[in-house]
Amino acid sequence: MMEAAPDIVIDVAGLTKTFGARTVVKDLTLQVRRGQIYGFLGPNGSGKTTTIRMLCGLLTPDGGAGTCLGYDIRTQSHLIKRRVGYMTQRFSLYQDLSIRENLEFVGRVFGLEDPRAAAREAIDRLGLGGRENQLAGELSGGWKQRLALGACILPRPDLLLLDEPTAGVDPKARRDFWNEIHDLSAQGLTVLVSTHYMDEAERCHEIAYIAYGELLAHGPVDEVVRAAGLQTWRVSGEDLHSLAAALTHLPGLELVAPFGASLHVGGRDHAAVEAAIAPWRNDPRYVWRADEPTLEDVFIDLMSRKRDNFRDTAS
């Protein structure tokens, strides 16, 4: 068994999980350092939830091995569970229990010295004072999510696993949530968070992009963007719609996407991109400007190429 360095919190290699004939996670290798906020990105059904569940012992990997907080994910999941806070995608606290009762339940299960005091403290920290006797099922989406996070950090875990914690939450609540995550990380807590939002990805120290069960890119955001090697142009002008239609299937252009009043056009092979757009470069209707690729450009490109490969190997 590999020994994780003390500052590596998650260290897994070759993780594989199949459900029937479907391989949901394929040969995934991941390292997360202590105190980091690690973003986990990928389209729906790409294996993010399955990976998180394997890390906290809810699923047994079919292949691969590794450690979480220094414990073997295959044989020591009961030890991992004591030090991990797992926030599920779907609200999974008891809807028919009040805020206080839910928190006290968590406190008792984790064997805290004084669950009542811990629950009271969490209620104050969450700003839920005066509402502690409200049933959890009656809370709005944003408050449910805050409560769920509060319950996760109540036992003072070393690692937080958050599965799409901000899905369906308004922007203000999302921002507050991320501020809280950063505070926790500053206190030394490691956070692995899956998300669909690019702005959230950009608030992570490092990200990993996973599609069709495979890890396609990982590292700090700017590194991932740089490594993608995309050359992009931003076109503005009139009738961008017909321009987009004309550009879409040209060789060399891997990315043609409307962004509000402009169009993003780009590809990996710089010469090919230049050649493809040459007929419209001097068209007076359009203004062309070289642009930095965004993270979203990179992901869409990664995903479409992955899908093409997937199709090629399948056919």
Partner 1 sequence: MSLIPARARGALSRIYAMLMKEFIQLRRDRITLATMITVPLMQLFLFGFAINTTPRDLPTAVLLQENTDVGRSILAALRNTAFFDIRKVATSEAEVESLLRSGSVLFVIEIPAGFERALRRGETPAMLVSADATDPVAAGSALGALEGVVQSALSRDRVTGVAPPAPPTFEIRQHRRFNPAGSSQLNIVPGLLGTILTMTMLIFTALSVTREVERGTMESLLAMPIRPLEIMLGKIAPYVVVGFLQATLIVSAGVFVFGVPMLGNLALLAGLTTLFIAANLSIGYTFSTLAQNQLQAVQMAMMFFLPNILLSGFMFPFAGMPLWARGIGECLPLTHYIRIVRGIMLKGADLADLQHDGLWLVGLMLVAMTIAVRRFRQTLD
- 111 near partner 1 (CB under 8 A): yes
Q: Of residues 70-89, which lie at the interface with partner 1 (CB under 8 A)? A: 78, 81-82, 84, 86, 88
Considering the complex, what minimum distance in angstroms separates the CB of residue 58 from partner 1?
5
- 105 near partner 1 (CB under 8 A): yes
- Give the residue with the Cβ less far from partner 1, 119 or 216: 119
* Count, residues near partner 1 per rule CB under 8 A: 30
- Measured distance CA(85)–CA(62) in Å, rounded: 24
Helical residues (DSSP H) of the chain, grouped into ranges? 48-55, 77-83, 99-109, 115-126, 141-153, 171-186, 198-201, 221-228, 240-247, 270-281, 295-314
- 60 near partner 1 (CB under 8 A): yes
- Measured distance CA(92)–CA(87) in Å, rounded: 8
- Give the residue with the Cβ less far from partner 1, 115 or 266: 115
- Give the residue with the Cβ less far from partner 1, 95 or 248: 95
Residue 15 phi/psi, 5-degree rounding, is -60, 130
- Give the residue with the Cβ less far from partner 1, 85 or 267: 85
- What distance lies between CA 192 and its chain's CA centroid? 8
- 94 near partner 1 (CB under 8 A): yes
- 108 near partner 1 (CB under 8 A): yes
* CA nearest neighbour of 190 among 10, 2, 3, 5: 10
Token code pair at residue 278 = 């040459």
- Measured distance CA(119)–CA(104) in Å, rounded: 6
- 96 near partner 1 (CB under 8 A): yes
Binding mask 136-175 for partner 1 (x = CB under 8 A): ----------------------------------------
The single residue among 10, 59, 99, 247 that binds partner 1, judged by CB under 8 A, is 59
**Kind of pairing, strands 71-72 and 63-68?**
antiparallel
Residue 6 phi/psi, 5-degree rounding, is -60, -25
Considering the complex, what minimum distance in angstroms separates the CB of residue 247 from partner 1?
45
- 24 near partner 1 (CB under 8 A): no
Q: Of residues 34-53, which lie at the interface with partner 1 (CB under 8 A)? A: 53
Q: Contact at 8 Å (CB) between 273 and 230?
A: no
Considering the complex, what minimum distance in angstroms separates the CB of residue 148 from partner 1?
9
Q: What is the distance between the terminal CA atoms of the chain, rounded to a whole angstrom?
A: 38
Residues found near partner 1 in the complex (CB under 8 A): 53, 56-60, 78, 81-82, 84, 86, 88, 90-97, 101, 104-111, 115
